[in-house]
Amino acid sequence: MTKKAASTKKKPTSFNYDAVVIGTGPGGEGAAMQLAKAGKRVAVVERYKSVGGGCTHWGTIPSKALRHSVSRLIEYNNTPLFSENNLNQQVKFEDIMRHASGVIQSQTKLRSSFYDRNRVDLFYGVASFEDKNTLKIANNDGSEERLTTAQVLLATGSRPYCPSDIDFDHPRIYNSDSILSLKHQPRSIIIYGAGVVGSEYASIFRGMGVKVDLVNMRDRLLSFLDAEISDALSYHLWNNGVVIRNNETYKSVEGKEDSVILNLESGKRMRADCLLFANGRTGNTDLLNLDAVGIKANSRGQLNVNENYQTDVDNIFAVGDVIGYPSLASAAYNQGRFAAEAMLEGKANTGLVEDIPTGIYTIPEISSVGKTEQELTEQKVPYEVGRAQFKHLARAQIASTTVGSLKILFHRETKKILGIHCFGERASEIVHIGQAIMQQKGDGNTLDYFVNTTFNYPTMAEAYRVAALNGLNRIF
């Protein structure tokens, strides 16, 4: 990040707006609401036909709605009460996507009401700079207009990285956005890229009975995770029939009338009904005409900002995927609020928490916060591990969600909690209990909290007590 201080100079009052926000995803919404509630004249520009950004229309909401439906279907079919009575169900991909579309519509309606209520002007079109205080809006109805503004916040998000040597117009070749428009349920799919998106879709399609080949460019899945959690995911996918190919890169992709062929640099050839290319994302900065204001994006379309989310131009700020890490919807919303604070007061008085939780919506899901075992070992921190297997919890047995575990990493001497790692159903909810305790000051963030606190029974949260006792038993 660059380190230039935010400008506190007074702005002229002859502008149409005090601030224009480009993009209505979580980052843009967070900033627009904060600025409007502070009494500023705010406009928001959205290039799509409705608000919500990629998060609502192509990313977080639809893929998680899809995942939820498939997960519930698996849970239903694995419940002895139904399976023993031959009540197993099958649902088509298009049926599940209809449910996801309903969720998107509800979210869009809700988010639109926020702008109406706070009297934020909405423009639907593509925004580009003419100078640092003037934006040209190419409206979706074909008209054009210009907005002048004291400040600009860029929250334009990102899109799937699509290399030019692959024909994404072919009806059997998809990226992580276009896969949601799939009109039929394939018998087989190749997923190229085993990051978060690739791993999530691998478990979703396999849960629907589709034959899945997952091609990974690295030597292990999601190598940023704690190794045990990564291994658990690999085993679970393998045990469910996903073929994982590590350390592979593509050479070429052939789109046929009835199939797609993936040629790998290793000489292997793979064929399936369709291909999902899920290898990274690119910031949406190419249409902004950044040259007009002297801002340069990097090779992945991302922008440099300082601790106040300010770019190299003093009145232009940026948040969310367009600035890179952590590229999370939850973090983007807070970044938008913090950037609005800097736009209002000259500096952001708050920032993202140090330990940002990771939620990965595979089936079962994964969530973690804090240090991994590998990081603690490398740093020579004397830690110990407490574990709870879900199969031993009454609530998991009742719900037939016994796959998975909770792992607490804590300092051997002080018992301070250093990391929480969870693999299993509802992991992204369970992890927040540990996160809340980790954030406490003084002696409030130790293992003793989980030992001495009474949890509802039966609950999945009880895993914390089981894991804490297991960890204490390892100390001598």
Name the binding residues. Answer: 46-55, 64, 156-158, 193-200, 280, 321
Contact between 396 and 402 under an 8 Å Cβ cutoff? The reply is: yes
Distance CA 97, CA 474 (A): 47
Distance CA 359, CA 432 (A): 11
Q: Of 7, 42, 131, whose CA–CA distance to 336 is shortest?
A: 42
Distance CA 237, CA 258 (A): 27
Q: Which residue has the tokens 């439906």?
A: 69
Q: Within 10 Å of residue 12's Cβ, how many Cβ atoms?
A: 8
Cα–chain center distance at 30: 17
Distance CA 360, CA 200 (A): 7
Distance CA 23, CA 395 (A): 42
Name the binding residues for NAD(+). Answer: 193-200, 280
- Dihedral in degrees, nearest 10, Cα atoms 169, 172, 173, 175: 100
Q: Of 65, 71, 72, 25, whose CA–CA distance to 45 is shortest?
A: 25
Q: Within 10 Å of residue 101's Cβ, how many Cβ atoms?
A: 13
Give the end-to-end CA distance of the chain in Å, rounded to a whole number: 45
β strands within 155-195, DSSP E? 158-160, 173-175, 188-192
What is the DSSP annotation of 22-73? E--SHHHHHHHHHHHHTT--EEEEESSSSSSHHHHHTSHHHHHHHHHHHHHH
Which DSSP helix (H) or strand (E) runs through 43?
strand 42-46
Contact between 417 and 370 under an 8 Å Cβ cutoff? The reply is: yes
Distance CA 466, CA 406 (A): 9
Name the binding residues for FAD. Answer: 46-55, 64, 156-158, 321
Phi then psi for residue 320, to 5 deg, are: 85, -155
Structure tokens at 147: 């907005």
